[in-house]
């Protein structure tokens, strides 16, 4: 084992744990807030049960506005809010705050698109049988779209794995921080290659797991 890599192994395990912490918090926020937001967006859209064009336009505009920010800019812009929520602007928990802000509208839009793929006839049949809006969401929309939702969450996880690496630029910790400190500032190419290899393995693992679960849930 190269001397540089052997020397940073303790920090490497810590960095991997920090990356999973940031990713876990961001994905949890996306599921808890972004998921319902995406369902609400779908129901407010033209032709749906809660159709409200003005409200849909406003909410859709807000979602698109947050999504339009490059993550590194959002990271810096949210520093005051991050300090209030996390008590600091550095570290993995602090970095998870802008990650969560970015993940919520991102996942909301993915959820909305997945629900649009549910056949209109299935929804109308549920309405004809007297199902309430809540029952249609829980027992029709989410069930019919579950395979697509898993793939959407997989895409989100992979995208925000790279975002968590970007957070290392401003002291967010994680694999990105390790790559910057050793691979860039100290010109230790072997460390940089190792961190990239770890990210590749993580991406492949997330994609494989997401694809496998989506296939199991797809009953078409």
Domains and CATH numbers, the chain: 3-217 (1.10.3720.10)
pLDDT of residue 31: 93
Long-range CB contact pairs, 150-155, < 8 A, 24+: 150/210, 150/213, 150/214, 150/217, 151/210, 151/211, 151/214, 152/107, 152/110, 152/111, 152/113, 152/114, 153/27, 153/30, 153/31, 153/107, 153/210, 154/206, 154/207, 154/209, 154/210, 154/211, 154/214, 155/110
pLDDT of residue 151: 93
pTM above 0.85, yes or no: yes
Write the pLDDT tens digit of every residue in 71-128. 888 888 888 888 888 887 778 888 888 889 999 999 999 999 999 888 888 887 877 8
Residues with pLDDT less than 70, the chain: 1-6, 168-172, 219-220
pLDDT of residue 89: 75
pLDDT of residue 118: 84
In whole angstroms, give the CA distance from residue 208 to residue 195.
Answer: 20
């Amino acid at each position: 084992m190269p001397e540089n890599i052997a020397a940073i192994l303790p920090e490497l395990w810590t960095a991997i744990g920090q990356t999973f912490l940031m990713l876990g918090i961001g994905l949890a926020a996306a599921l808890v807030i972004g998921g319902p937001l995406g369902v609400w967006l779908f129901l407010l859209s033209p032709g749906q049960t809660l159709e409200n064009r003005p409200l849909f336009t406003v909410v859709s505009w807000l979602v698109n506005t947050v999504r339009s920010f490059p993550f590194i800019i959002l990271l810096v812009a949210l520093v005051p809010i991050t300090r209030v929520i996390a008590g600091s602007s550095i570290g993995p928990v602090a970095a998870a705050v802008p990650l969560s802000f970015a993940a919520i509208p991102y996942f909301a839009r993915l959820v909305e698109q997945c629900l649009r793929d549910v056949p209109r006839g299935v929804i109308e049949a549920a309405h004809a049988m007297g199902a309430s809006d809540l029952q249609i969401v829980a027992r029709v929309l989410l069930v019919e779209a579950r395979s697509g939702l898993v793939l959407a969450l997989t895409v989100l996880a992979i995208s925000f794995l790279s975002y968590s690496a970007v957070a290392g630029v401003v002291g967010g910790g994680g694999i990105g921080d390790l790559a910057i400190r050793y691979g860039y500032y100290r010109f230790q190419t072997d460390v940089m290659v190792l961190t990239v290899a770890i990210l590749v393995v993580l991406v492949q693992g997330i994609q494989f797991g997401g694809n496998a679960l989506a296939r199991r849930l797809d009953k078409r």
